[in-house]
Amino acid sequence: MNVLELVVMALRTIMSKPMRTLLTMLGVIIGVGSVTTLVSIGQGTTAKIEAQYENLGTNLLIVNLLGNGRATQLDYDKLMKLEILPEIESIAPSVSKNGSNVKYDRTSETYNVIGTNDRYFSLMKIDVERGRALVPADNEFRSNVAVIGSEVAETLFGFADPVGQDINIDGIVFTVVGQLKSKGSNIGGTSPDSSVFVPLETARRAFRLGQIRTTYLEAPDADRLTEAQETITQYLTYQFKSSNGFRVSNQEELMNARKEAANSLMSQLISVALISLLVGGIGIMNIMLVTVSERTREIGIRKSIGAKRHHILTQFLMEAAVISGLGGLLGLMLGVAASLIWPLVNPNQPTQLSIEVGIYAFIFSVLVGIVFGLYPANKASRLKPIDALRFD
């Protein structure tokens, strides 16, 4: 028999008992479907992280202070003087207050308030849609002005122009001077769309936020990023008399860290999904053993009329491979459907389908069927004709 005839024969045999066949394939279906879905989510997450990285550029540095007390405080004026260095293009210190109550008229919502300077918006590649961004005078005179994200503007003002309107932030009145264009989340996972930006010194005084803990620096280009990182590291080490009170990171390091964490979690989930394939393989072996027992007389008849051992072995292996292969196809279809539906349920989590992953998952499912079908097939092929014919 050729391969096509064996496949047709296997299909006729397993379709004679469709419910049992479907239950046998269930582990393979779940395993392949889970792997396909999880890999597409993982690849979508990776692509999202890379897009965020490219969106901010490759010449951004982030300084985080780790210590507490006066010994690890940054002075704003001294920090801004570093802009005279050729390897540093722009500096935007920031403080933040999460969960602030922002109110306009009768509408109230909770948002993050970020205190920063005028450099922040160009450094973070955030464009203004209405009004203006912060200017140096706002910080110098500690003005009670605010620039709001697109989500904040939509929630509080709807389609109305927010510029010139007063909003209340934790009991303090601020005048809206600008609205930002929609940006989406950045590499740190936060989104300017759901944030309110006020002058740095205003935020520190009004909300008692204390010292500057996060500072963003921009090098003139990616080629000078390493030089800028070394300069700010040396400066902070001199300021704090130690290199343990701060951390200087660049965008690529943050991106790689997030990708590594995402890939690690995805690998663990895929490992769990692969267990379903193994369980499915055990189910196939179990059913094939039952099938061998049910078809013992058929095996004896075939052998008595000239069928060789390898004919019986190949026939039962093909049946196991077809069962697992059909399960793999159904699982692949399920995984593709889940990958397409997932972004609709969770818009913040994109997916990215991969043809290669689907092919590998299908091939692996067929191999699972062959491996776990080998023992039942071998048992069937070793039956002696006379004993098989006597079997009742």
Q: Which pLDDT score, from 0 to 100, does residue 112 have?
A: 94
Q: Which of 96, 61, 118 is nearest to 236 (CA)?
A: 61
Q: Which of 160, 152, 154, 159 is nearest to 194 (CA)?
A: 152
Pairing of strands 172-180, 246-250: unpaired
Here the tokens at position 303 are 């052998």
Q: Which residue, 236, 196, 226, is CA-closest to 94?
A: 196
Question: Can you state the angle between helices 309-345 and 251-294, rounded to 10 degrees?
Answer: 140
Query: DSSP labels for 177-189?
Result: EEEEPP----TTS
Dihedral through CA 331, CA 334, CA 336, CA 339, nearest 10?
-120
Contact 171, 141 (CB under 8 A): no
Give the per-residue pLDDT at 215.
Answer: 93
Q: What pTM was computed for the model?
A: 0.66
- Two structure tokens written together for 219: 């090098």
What DSSP string describes 79-147?
HHGGGGSTT--EEEEEEEEEEEEEEETTEEEEEEEEEE-THHHHHTT--EEEE----HHHHHTT--EEE
One digit per residue, the tens of pLDDT, for the chain of length 392 reads 566 777 777 777 777 788 888 888 888 888 888 888 888 888 887 777 777 666 665 688 999 888 665 556 788 888 899 999 999 999 999 999 999 999 999 999 999 999 999 999 999 889 999 999 999 999 999 999 999 999 999 999 998 999 999 999 999 999 999 999 998 766 555 789 999 999 999 999 999 888 888 999 999 888 888 899 999 999 988 888 888 888 898 877 767 777 777 778 777 777 877 787 788 888 888 888 888 777 777 777 777 777 777 777 888 888 888 888 888 899 999 988 998 898 888 877 788 887 788 888 888 888 888 888 888 888 877 777 665 566 55
